Amino acid sequence: MLSTKPFCARRPQPGLERGIAALPYDVLTREQAVRLASGHPDSILHVTRPEIAFPEAIPLADGVVQAAARKHYRQLIKRGRLVADNSPCYYLYEQQLGAHRQRGIVGLFHVDDYRHGIVRRHESTRRDKERERTGLLRAVGAQPGLVFLACRSNSALAGLLDNLSDLPWLYDFEAPDGACHRVLDIPDVESVAQAMATVPVAYIADGHHRAAAAAGVAGKESEDDQVSPASWFPAALFPADSLKVFGYHRCVRTLGNLDPNAFLRAIRERFQLSVADPVSPVTAGVIRLLMTDGCWDMQPLPSLATGGSAADSLDVAVLQNHLLQPLLGIDDPREDPNIEFVGGSHAHEEMMQRLQTGQCVAAFMMAPVPVEQMMNVADQGGSMPPKSTWFEPKLLEGLLIHDREDKP
């Protein structure tokens, strides 16, 4: 079972949340982070993306940059912009985007559950990004963002979430992503703890590098340590059947040494192509190819061996293993400059704009990976290609902060 506990979150003084909370650091480009932080001197982006205040040549790992992040965070506390609850709580985090609403419980989770597979991952992380984020978290002394966890249907947790509807919100506001974010403290920690104890396994939906960095901060000495704040990381746990998942798509900047006609001929050796309507929904088992002169649906030919594991059968894996790698030489999509990722509810418009402006020469759209399939991959110990799932709305950073330097 999961090891969880309540905590005294550092959080914005009510009324200041719009100027402090921000979208997650890893869904923003540098330019987007600069724009969102502009005019908001208290924004948590000055903690999670402190490099935006420095020349681009200075990396996040630089000690001066990390010291600036710590200074900004500690100044937010000193100036009363961030406050802490007097007694440990769990928190209800509700998000609503249009007609879709999802609710989760925020608390602290033990790093050893992550290490031992009780909190399960479905993606591999980059060691350099782990080290980069670990260094920042150590310097700041706090974790401003939440790991986004999912769990299979659970009547005890569902009942708890349903019964928390009539209490006043600490925060209720619309963020730049257009979603409403609502937070409520739950002083009845025993009821929450009992419900959480019925959840056998949790799955990382979003925030693999946050979880890995938390384990890095804890170090090897955290085994069975229930006291040290470094042994715990903040996360929000949502029932999987309440989540909205979108496709995570790919754009490529060049076709390498292939011209468009040669590229299409090479694809036809592996996939059946049929002309498609670019705005119609993409179904599972189909990969949509968008180019400036046409739109096609791609289905693997029967002779194409796509693998038998839950991970190998994913559309994103088929695309990577049978097109991006062999035709375009994209061996590691995490690092290859020829590929970019686009996710979310407005992905189609974004990809069309990139094609029309010449930012990419081809784009690939895929149906969303069902949450159940994501959990199956994790259960098998498999690893999905990076950027396989896009969950929306995103959990905001700076709303519920785990400060390791506060007293337990």
Section 251-279 average pLDDT: 95
| Cα dist from 42 to 128, 284, 311, whole Å | 28, 43, 41
Q: Please report the pLDDT score of residue 374 as a whole number.
A: 94
Query: Looking at domain 245-390, which of 3.30.1760.10, 3.40.50.300, 2.30.30.30, 3.40.190.10 is its CATH number?
Result: 3.30.1760.10
Section 261-276 average pLDDT: 96
Q: Is the pLDDT of residue 228 over 90?
A: no
| Mean of per-residue pLDDT scores for the chain | 92
How many angstroms separate the most distant Cα atoms in the chain? 66
Q: Please report the pLDDT score of residue 31 as a whole number.
A: 93
Q: Please report the pLDDT score of residue 104 as a whole number.
A: 96
Taking the model in full, what pTM does it have? 0.91
Section 328-336 average pLDDT: 91
| 226, 40 contact by CB (below 8 A) | no
Q: Please report the pLDDT score of residue 408 as a whole number.
A: 42
Section 301-312 average pLDDT: 79
Q: Is the pLDDT of residue 213 over 60?
A: yes
Q: Please report the pLDDT score of residue 373 as a whole number.
A: 92
Q: Is the pLDDT of residue 10 over 90?
A: yes
Q: Please report the pLDDT score of residue 406 as a whole number.
A: 77
Candidate ranges 16-25, 159-168, 298-307; pick with highest mean pLDDT: 16-25
Q: Is the pLDDT of residue 270 over 80?
A: yes
Cα of 407 vs its chain's centroid, Å: 29
Domain locations in the chain? Answer: 4-243+392-403, 245-390
Q: Please report the pLDDT score of residue 225 as a whole number.
A: 65
Q: Please report the pLDDT score of residue 84 as a whole number.
A: 95
Q: Which two tokens stand for residue 265?
A: 């001929």
pLDDT digits (tens, 9 = 90+) for 157-201: 999 998 887 678 999 999 988 999 999 999 899 999 999 999 999
Of 248, 245, 385, 201, nearest in space to 311 by CA = 385
Section 291-297 average pLDDT: 95
Q: Please report the pLDDT score of residue 220 as a whole number.
A: 57
Cα of 222 vs its chain's centroid, Å: 25
Q: Name the least confident of 93-107, 157-171, 210-224.
A: 210-224
End-to-end CA distance of the chain: 23
C-alpha to C-alpha distance for 89 and 6, rounded to whole angstroms? 5
Q: Please report the pLDDT score of residue 249 as a whole number.
A: 95
DSSP for 95-137, written as a single string: EEETTEEEEEEEEEEEHHHHHTTSEE-SB---HHHHHHHHHHH
Q: Please report the pLDDT score of residue 63 as a whole number.
A: 92
Section 82-92 average pLDDT: 95
Of 306, 143, 280, nearest in space to 211 by CA = 143
User: How many Cα atoms occupy the beta-carbon half-sphere of 139 within 13 Å?
Assistant: 23
Check whether the bond before 50 is cis (ω within 30° of 0): no
Residue with tokens 């090891």: 3
Section 278-300 average pLDDT: 94
Name the residue with higher pLDDT: 139 or 309.
139
pLDDT cut 70: percent of the chain above it: 97
Q: Is the pLDDT of residue 219 over 60?
A: yes
What DSSP designation does 184 have? E
Question: Which pairs with CB-CB distance under 8 Å and at least 24 residues apart come from 49-57?
Answer: 49/25, 50/136, 56/30
C-alpha to C-alpha distance for 65 and 122, rounded to whole angstroms? 31
